[in-house]
Amino acid sequence: MALPEQRNFQHAYNLALELACQKLARIDDLEEQCRKSGARLRLANNKKVITLDYLGKSHQITLPGAEIRSVSGQEPVSPREKLLILHYFIRAQGGALAGRKITYKELPDGANYSPVFYKRAVRPLLASFGQQPQGLLETAAILGGQRADFGDIAVTINAFSRVPITLVLWGGDNELRPEGNILFDASISGYLSAEDVSVLCETIAWKLARAKQGEAWS
């Protein structure tokens, strides 16, 4: 039996999913929105199927109904991930990558939530990889991560086709503790809100932590 907090959490996500589905249903030109988000549209069994990449795996949104699943059918898609996928597709403005990295504090409304972002997204990375930064390279490869030229160790993961996320670690020593940060292309606000960015990075951090421990991603 779910605790009250768990029920409230699930209820909030259900409402958010319902609102996102309503916004999706109001999009008149799905082909144009696919172009803006880097997704693909096709017809199958009299249904419209939107396919887009999320954390190195192809996922589908099937309309009507906005059913969301991984193409392989092997990876579970949590409610929060379904919401992220919908929000990305709906919000996508189609802007090109800026080629300039920013921190969470530089996002609209990011400064207000930066301490929470650090606690939920950066700290789990440090707990898992702070003492062994090299392990981040190996583990992030599971999500399609590629080495990046920041800090002592950094990897860039294409969370969505237009949303690269760069995880950066600095190894500690006898005097300094390990530190980390997460960087974004300056165009990210054209694809996700600050709240969605926080949820996305928290999701990535815990997927990596579980993968390191050999646990399932769900």
DSSP 24-47: HHT-S-HHHHHHHHT-EEEEETTE
**CA 51 from centre of chain:** 16
Q: What is the pLDDT along the chain (218 residues), one digit of tens a residue?
A: 343 444 566 778 788 989 999 999 999 999 999 999 999 999 998 999 999 999 999 999 999 989 999 998 777 899 899 999 999 999 999 999 999 999 999 999 999 999 999 999 999 999 999 988 899 999 999 999 999 999 999 999 999 999 999 999 998 777 788 999 999 999 999 999 999 999 999 999 999 999 988 754 44
Report d(CA 204, CA 148) in Å as an integer. 17
Pick from 37, 11, 12: which is nearest to 24 by CA? 37
Domains of the chain, by residue range, sit at: 4-91, 101-212
* Assigned token pair, 26: 């109001």
H/E stretch holding 19 reads helix 4-25
pTM confidence score:
0.91
